[in-house]
Chains A and B, each alone.
Chain A
Amino acid sequence: MIRPRLRRVAIHLFAWGLAVGWLFPFVGLTMAAFRPFPEIVGGWWNFDPFTPSFTKFVAAFNAISFGFRNSLLIAVPATIIPMSVATLAGYGFARFSFPIRDYVFLTVVLLMTIPQQMVAIPIFRIMVGLKLEDTLLSLVILHSAWGLPWIVLFMRNFFSALPKEVEEAARVDGASDLKVFFKIVLPMALPALGAVAVLQFMWVWNDFFFSLLLCPATPSCMPATVALYHTIGKFEFDPGLLAAGSILVMLVPVSLYVLLQKFYIRGMIGWTVKG
């Protein structure tokens, strides 16, 4: 009777201890941002002396606030556009058949796996050719296109799992494809769309390579991740300022995740695991 109990306690202590330990690097970063650097030399877990202050956060925010504005201006349209466009296509792939449909779909899915570097050079040339280099629009377009494959796959999988009967009944009553889609299918897809929105927004916000490619040094288009790297990280190394800036930039996706965990996990699972 005692031994299973002991085992239970041990497992719980281990699991909770692990969770706390897993967060240590974040705690360390927070300490580096809140306390003067000499104080944490030898380890942030020494609390004597302990003089926290917000000054680094204020300075970091002032240094990269334009990056937050740009990140929002990029991530919001780069979420809405691919979501609308890919939902239509995902429904199409799930319900309509045409001769080479499966090959087209397979190609779309394969495009999901290639690295960003595979499009970098031509995209750069296209954007220069369109006179869009160093603009927010170039990043919106690129992220919209780049997000399409996974959203198409995700929404197709979702629509395939929906029962066809309701839609067929509506068709028999004479509703057009568009009417069926907007009046019947779309309301049912809202939870899936929520998952898509959270994931896509986060990926665009977190992106670094495309932003570095299309806007490496211009404040008017530089998103938060690049702004952090460019303005705080590159020139003079102030560990406190860099830590504070990093926390501010990651605060957006992390709080989104903590608030909308259900959507996030559902998106992640639905996207990878069939079931």
Chain B
Amino acid sequence: MIRLRIEGVTRVLRRLRDRARRFFERRGSLRARKAGLRVAFFAPALLLLVLFVGYPVLATIGVSFFDANGHFVGFANYGNVLGSPDTINLNGFPKPPPYGTLINNAIWIAIHLPLSVFLGMWLALVLQEVRGAVWVKTAIFIGMVTPLVIGGIMMLYVFDGAVGIVPRFFDSIGIHALGNGWLQRPTTLLFGLIFGSVWLWTGFSLIVYSAGLTTIPKEYWEAAKIDGASTLRTFTHVTFPLLKPMTIVVVTMSILWELKIFDLVFGATSPNGGVGGAADVLAMQMYREAFVQFDSGAAAAIATFLSLLTLVATLFTIRYMVKR
């Protein structure tokens, strides 16, 4: 068995040697030299990518099929992860949190995606008529350049019961239920972080939509106006369809943001996902399994599952991102 394998390897090596020899004999020809030179354009990038991104990705997929002791277990890790109450915890719904990481990521998408997309689009439209709009955009965009872990740390201040502007505001208008620290209670924790993330991320959709609007000729809106179209009809029949390419990009990027969210939650809570794990997300669960529980199989399964979700989200956009 082993001899067979070695013979196979030597055969491959011999074939490679012959091919290399032929290549060098041809070296004189201009075409071959040119091809060799062109390889130099790709080689460094592909080498780095294969070694430190491509191989680790495949290795993670591999690890996800083994248990912590190195025994092959097939899809058991995936079954365990998806069956665990850490991931999906909806028994007896409606009930108070925690709902589990996968559900939390889904809630994150359900709230964060429409809010940030439409807020950004609406602001981009409004700001078209505003002098000094650059400054408004700059102010809103600062959240995008802030380290996300510091964005999380800032949540500690914004939602603090004693000093935070959000609880103080609700307290002063008489809604005392929201007048305490948001991050200390499971029911408000997740929503506080989601709204905080909207605050940080809206700058992205605003900037993309603003850039998109500058490429669209004003005549479209003038024509709609002359035809007597209402504001709503103008939006649904003119503005929204014209902005479709931007919407596709913004929606995809937002879903990726919501699926991958880690730093923000980590900075605002503990590595456990906050009180009772109410704000736990898939990326945090993966980190804990790998570097706190040392269950690399489960961690790799979560990572692979999360990557699959991001790939599905991207497949629809890829053709818009690659210029023909």
Chain B contacts to A: CB under 8 angstroms? 34, 37-38, 40-42, 44-46, 48-49, 51-57, 59-60, 63, 123, 126-127, 129-133, 135-136, 138-143, 145-150, 153-154, 156-158, 162-165, 168, 199, 204, 207-208, 211-212, 215, 245-246, 249, 253, 256, 259-260, 262-263, 266-267, 283, 286-287, 290-291, 296, 299-300, 302-304, 306-307, 310-311, 313-314, 318, 320-324
B318 x A106 contact (CB < 8 A): yes
A61 within 8 A of B: no
A32 x B163 contact (CB < 8 A): yes
B142 x A15 contact (CB < 8 A): no
Which residues from chain A contact B253 at a C-beta distance below 8 Å? 272
Q: Which of B56, B133, B256, B323 contacts A123 (CB 8 A)?
A: B56
B130 x A15 contact (CB < 8 A): yes
A51 within 8 A of B: no
A64 within 8 A of B: no
Q: Which of A88, A111, A176 contacts B54 (CB 8 A)?
A: A111
Which residues from chain B contact A88 at a C-beta distance below 8 Å? 40-42, 44-45
Which residues from chain A contact B126 at a C-beta distance below 8 Å? 11, 14-15
Count residues of A near B (Cβ-Cβ below 8 Å): 103
Which residues from chain A contact B55 at a C-beta distance below 8 Å? 122
Chain A contacts to B: CB under 8 angstroms? 8, 11-12, 14-16, 18-20, 22-26, 28-29, 32, 37, 40-44, 82, 85-86, 88-89, 91-93, 96, 98, 104-111, 113-123, 125-126, 141-142, 144-146, 148-149, 152-153, 156-157, 160-161, 176-178, 181, 202, 205-209, 212-213, 225, 228-229, 233, 239, 242-243, 246, 249-250, 253-254, 256-258, 261, 264-265, 268-269, 272-275
Closest chain-B Cβ to A22's Cβ sits at a distance in Å of: 5
B150 x A89 contact (CB < 8 A): no
A92-B42, A177-B38, A273-B246 known; A11+B208 contact, CB < 8 A: no
Which residues from chain B contact A119 at a C-beta distance below 8 Å? 52-53, 56-57, 60
A272 x B321 contact (CB < 8 A): yes
- In the assembled complex, the Cα of A44 lies from the Cα of B149 at a distance in Å of 23
Which residues from chain B contact A11 at a C-beta distance below 8 Å? 126, 129-130
B286 x A246 contact (CB < 8 A): no
Closest residue of chain A to B169 (Cβ to Cβ) is: A43
Looking at B44, B52, B156, the one whose CB has the most chain A CB atoms below 10 A away is B52
Closest chain-A Cβ to B143's Cβ sits at a distance in Å of: 8
- In the assembled complex, the Cα of A205 lies from the Cα of B146 at a distance in Å of 10
A85 x B48 contact (CB < 8 A): yes
- In the assembled complex, the Cα of A126 lies from the Cα of B256 at a distance in Å of 27
- In the assembled complex, the Cα of A123 lies from the Cα of B129 at a distance in Å of 50
Closest residue of chain A to B302 (Cβ to Cβ) is: A117
A118 x B263 contact (CB < 8 A): no
B139 x A23 contact (CB < 8 A): yes
B37 x A177 contact (CB < 8 A): yes
- In the assembled complex, the Cα of A55 lies from the Cα of B16 at a distance in Å of 68
The prevalent SS among residues of A at the interface is helix
Looking at A16, A121, A264, the one whose CB has the most chain B CB atoms below 10 A away is A121
- In the assembled complex, the Cα of A253 lies from the Cα of B143 at a distance in Å of 11
B46 x A89 contact (CB < 8 A): yes
B42 x A89 contact (CB < 8 A): yes
Which residues from chain B contact A202 at a C-beta distance below 8 Å? 145
Which residues from chain A contact B59 at a C-beta distance below 8 Å? 121-122, 125
Q: Which of A113, A207, A253, A261 contacts B311 (CB 8 A)?
A: A113
Per CB-CB distance, the 9 closest pairs between chain A and chain B, nearest first, are: A145-B52, A92-B41, A89-B45, A122-B56, A119-B56, A122-B59, A206-B147, A19-B139, A19-B136
Given contacts A8-B129, A15-B130, 16 further A-B contacts (CB under 8 A): A15-B136, A18-B123, A25-B154, A43-B163, A82-B48, A114-B310, A115-B310, A141-B48, A202-B145, A209-B263, A228-B153, A246-B153, A257-B141, A273-B211, A274-B321, A275-B211
Which residues from chain A contact B314 at a C-beta distance below 8 Å? 110, 113
- In the assembled complex, the Cα of A69 lies from the Cα of B134 at a distance in Å of 33
Which residues from chain A contact B168 at a C-beta distance below 8 Å? 42-43
Which residues from chain B contact A239 at a C-beta distance below 8 Å? 156-157, 163
Which residues from chain A contact B141 at a C-beta distance below 8 Å? 257
12 contacts between A and B (CB under 8 A): A22-B199, A29-B154, A109-B318, A113-B311, A115-B259, A120-B60, A121-B300, A141-B52, A144-B52, A249-B147, A272-B249, A273-B211
B139 x A145 contact (CB < 8 A): no
Which residues from chain B contact A144 at a C-beta distance below 8 Å? 48, 52
- In the assembled complex, the Cα of A121 lies from the Cα of B290 at a distance in Å of 7
Closest chain-B Cβ to A252's Cβ sits at a distance in Å of: 9
A148 x B49 contact (CB < 8 A): yes
Closest chain-B Cβ to A250's Cβ sits at a distance in Å of: 5
- In the assembled complex, the Cα of A233 lies from the Cα of B313 at a distance in Å of 35
